[in-house]
Structure 1
């Protein structure tokens, strides 16, 4: 199974409530680029992204909308566990349960925030990679449900 961990696109600043910050025009462009890259990856690897898990923060939802224009995810869920202060271990358990409930699951896209995306990458790969995600970047993990661990196989970094 492939797990795609994505940070939201570039967002506007100076909002009273962090969760209401929208994407900037550049962030929309970045997310569109990411969607095209992800679509090409799925075609090249004969796979798909059947599940989207998204932070309820506006910028993450808008990022997912743009990416989904290219990949057409079958099922989408907003998860409060994907907010910036989310717990990587809880998400790891959630992903394992999701994969065990659907043995045909080929790909899951998570759209979230720093620092959670970095901590989640470490949790899923079982090592401290301390990756700093630029906006709208995606890291693809080839994940083994049997071993509850994976490794990074490729990445996308937006212009």
Structure 2
């Protein structure tokens, strides 16, 4: 199965709260460009998309959604910047098994995206993600470990 993890696009520096920071025009453009390259690499359909409730992640998903066919989209409070990677990995693994998911996309934040990648792909350090950065993991649900297939940076 494939797990794709994407960091939201570039966001404004200031807002009433961190959760309310909006994407910049550059963030919209680079997110779309990275998503186009994901499609060019052969991934254009997702059984389930998990999106952080933070505005910049929601806007990133709305920007890239026209490029993908998503069967289900779920807002996931656990994938905010301060989410616990182990909890999220357990949750995603349970969803994969219960719903027989074959392709999953998570639209989230630093530092969580790096920790998730390291938890799904054993033996690597958490990578740094630029804004709009995206990785694809080939994940073996039985062994509960994956291999980093490719990453796309703007």
Partner of 1:6: 6
TM-score, length-normalised on structure 2?
Answer: 0.95
Q: How far apart are 1:29 and its partner, in Å?
A: 0.1
Count how many residue pairs are aligned between Structure 1 and Structure 2: 154
**Residue segments in structure 2 that go unaligned for 5+ positions in a row:** none
Q: Is the 8 A contact 1:42 1:48 kept in 2?
A: no
In the aligned structure 2, how far is the partner of 1:78 from the partner of 1:136? 18
Q: CA deviation at 1:98?
A: 1.2
Residues 78 and 88 in structure 2, CA contact (< 8 A), matched pair in contact too = yes
RMSD: 1.3
How far apart in 2 are the matches of 1:77 and 1:102? 13
Deviation at 1:63, TM superposition (A): 0.5
* Aligned counterpart, 2:120: 124
Structure 2 residue 85 is the aligned partner of structure 1 residue 88? yes
Partner-residue secondary structure (3-state), 1:53? strand
1:63 aligns with one of 47, 60, 66: 60
Deviation at 1:66, TM superposition (A): 1.2
CA distance in 2 between counterparts of 1:151 and 1:129 reads 13
Report the Cα offset of residue 75 of structure 1. 0.3
- Structure 1 segments, 4+ long, off by >3 Å, are none
Which ranges of structure 1 fall in alignment gaps of 5 or more residues? Answer: none
| 1:77 counterpart (74, 77, 83) | 74
Residue equivalent to 1:133: 129
1:107-140, Cα deviation, whole Å (9 max, x unpaired):
1000000000011111111234221000001010
Which residue of structure 2 aligns with residue 109 of structure 1?
A: 105
Cα offsets for 1:2-40 (capped at 9, x unmatched): 000100000011213010001000000011112212222
